[in-house]
């Protein structure tokens, strides 16, 4: 690591790192990218006048999530304008707002799943202070905020991590979206630290009430302690006495996701209920193509999925060659499956 103290730097100062005396690159830990993924990073004063000291957080029991894409939820497409929608969302009966990924991404309109700056709140949405205002207002309205985070890949446009080190990525594994992140190879300790720091960051600096980890089946790690267990443990420690909710997007049907991290599990509160969605969708709408073809779509099958937590156990389905594990029915029901389907995103 290289460290320096810049006496004249202050909030608002913009800067690059100069690599090998030649390349100018944004800070991988940048809190703000006001000119986008290719521009300079910005020094941010992390202090904020929070008014949510009485807020106790979210619990998985009875949690109803409304998933929101900030860029399409209001005509302005900003976090500040979304504050005005909080009373309407509260009136719907929800208890938590899940924001699609906020890490700085290329362009002005984007789902957010090809972001490249984990710590920088998208400047088009209003940047870091706007996110704090939104979370503070949500808590005042009695609503929690869950953030969608991506630790399985980085987007291609503006991804300068290789200029800092080739060890951020690995060719030992693959993902559908680009090179896999190096969590268990040479120099992986610093890569692991970055994502664990990021999970802590959202919980402490932004008072987030939980994280939804994107496509955890594409997070490959053969280490003695899986990076997912390290992330969930760090996030809960960062929250202190405040209750947070941690959700994994995976169709692996692996009970380890729901087991405590200190007992060999990954420590999540919930996983996406693919089987429940697929069998119910076939029953209600008759869909039978693609992955729906592996489901009967009967009420008996729906009931069995509710009792067990999922249907596919022990033998992989043709469309899902990943490892499958034991039934989740031995766990508390609220930890069997998440309350929101991966197949439908409600925006605005």
| Contacts (Cβ under 8 Å, ≥6 apart) of 191 | 167, 168, 181, 182, 183
Q: What is the rounded CA–CA span in Å between residue 54 and residue 120?
A: 27
Give Dmax (Cα) for the chain.
68
Per-residue model confidence (pLDDT) at position 135: 98
Segment 28-43, tens digit of pLDDT: 999 999 999 999 999 9
Structural domain count of the chain: 1
Q: Is 334 exposed, middle or buried (0-12, 13-18, 19+ CB in 10 A)?
A: middle
In a domain, 316, yes or no: no
pLDDT tens digits, 84-111? 999 999 999 999 999 999 999 999 989 9
Strands 178-181 and 117-121: unpaired
The reported pLDDT for the residue numbered 282 is: 95
Would you say residue 76 lies in a domain?
A: yes
Question: Residue 225: inside a domain, yes or no?
Answer: yes
Spatial separation of the C-alpha atoms in residues 240 and 243, rounded to whole Å? 8
Could you give the CA distance from residue 128 to residue 132 in angstroms, rounded to a whole number? 7
- Based on its alpha-carbon atoms, the radius of gyration of the chain, rounded to whole angstroms, reads 21
The catalytic residue among 117, 249, 252, 254 is 249
Tell me the C-alpha distance between 40 and 199, whole Å.
Answer: 23
Q: Which pTM value belongs to this model?
A: 0.90
Q: Is 37 helix (H, G, I), strand (E, B) or coil?
A: coil
> In this predicted structure, what is the pLDDT of residue 56?
95
Q: What confidence score (pLDDT) does residue 72 get?
A: 95
Q: How confident is the model at residue 271 (pLDDT cuts 50, 70, 90)?
A: very high
CATH, residue 177: 3.20.20.80
Question: Has residue 290 been placed in a domain?
Answer: no
Judged on CB neighbours under 10 Å (0-12, 13-18, 19+), 342 is middle
Q: How far is CA 322 from CA 153, 253, 256, 312, in A?
A: 19, 9, 14, 11
Residue 70 placed within a domain: yes
Residue of 122, 214, 274, 275 marked catalytic:
214
**What number of H helices and E strands is found in the chain?**
9, 14
Question: Which tens digits make up the pLDDT trace of 43-89?
Answer: 999 999 999 999 999 999 999 999 999 999 999 999 999 999 999 99
Q: Is residue 294 part of a domain?
A: no
Place of tokens 């900030």: 70
Is residue 200 one of the residues assigned to a domain? yes
Q: What is the extent of the structural domain holding 232?
A: 48-249
User: What pLDDT shows up at residue 341?
Assistant: 39
Distance of CA 15 to the CA centre of its chain: 27
Helix (H), strand (E) at residue 173:
strand 169-175
Distances (CA, A) of 134 to 26, 178, 200, 333: 26, 32, 19, 32
344, part of any domain: no
* Predicted pLDDT of residue 326: 57
In tens, the pLDDT along 303-343 reads 998 888 888 765 455 555 444 455 565 565 555 445 443 33
250-278: b or e for each residue (b if 16 or more CB lie within 10 Å)? bbbbbbbbbbebeeebbbbbbbbbbbbbb
Annotated active-site residue 249? The verdict is yes
User: pLDDT over 70 for what percent of the chain?
Assistant: 90
Is 214 marked active-site? yes
Mean of all residue pLDDT scores within the chain: 90
CA angle, corner 70, sides to 65 and 73, nearest 5?
80
């Amino acid at each position: 690591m290289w460290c320096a103290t810049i006496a004249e730097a202050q909030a608002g100062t913009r800067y690059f790192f100069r690599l090998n005396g030649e390349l100018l690159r944004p800070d991988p830990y940048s809190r703000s990218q006001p000119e986008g993924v290719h521009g300079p990073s910005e020094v941010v004063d992390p202090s904020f006048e929070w008014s949510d000291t009485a807020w106790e957080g979210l619990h998985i029991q009875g949690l109803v999530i409304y998933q929101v894409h900030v860029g399409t939820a209001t005509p302005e497409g900003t976090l500040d304008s979304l504050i005005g929608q909080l009373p309407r969302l509260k009136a719907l009966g929800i208890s938590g707002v899940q924001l699609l990924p906020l890490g700085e991404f290329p362009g002005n309109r984007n789902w957010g799943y090809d972001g490249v700056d984990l710590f920088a709140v998208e400047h088009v949405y209003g940047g870091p202070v706007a996110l704090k205002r939104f979370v503070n207002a949500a808590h005042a309205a009695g609503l929690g905020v869950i953030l969608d985070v991506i630790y399985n890949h980085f987007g291609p446009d503006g991804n300068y991590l290789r200029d800092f080190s080739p060890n951020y990525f690995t060719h030992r594994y693959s993902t559908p979206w680009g090179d896999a992140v190096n969590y268990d190879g040479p120099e992986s300790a610093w890569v692991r630290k970055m994502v664990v720091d990021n999970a802590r960051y959202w919980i402490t600096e932004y008072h987030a009430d939980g994280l939804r980890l994107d496509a955890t089946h594409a997070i490959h790690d053969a280490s003695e302690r899986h990076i997912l267990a390290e992330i969930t443990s760090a996030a809960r420690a960062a929250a202190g006495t405040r209750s947070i909710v941690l959700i994994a997007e995976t169709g692996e049907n692996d009970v380890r996701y729901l087991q405590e991290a200190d007992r060999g599990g990954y420590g999540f509160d919930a996983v996406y209920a693919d089987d429940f969605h697929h069998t119910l969708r076939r029953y209600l709408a008759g869909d039978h193509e693609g992955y729906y073809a592996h489901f009967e779509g009967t009420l008996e099958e729906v009931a069995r999925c509710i009792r067990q937590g999922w249907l596919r156990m022990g033998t992989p389905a043709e469309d899902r060659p990943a490892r499958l594990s034991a039934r989740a029915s031995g766990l508390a029901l609220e930890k069997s499956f998440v309350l929101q389907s991966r197949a439908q995103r409600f925006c605005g």
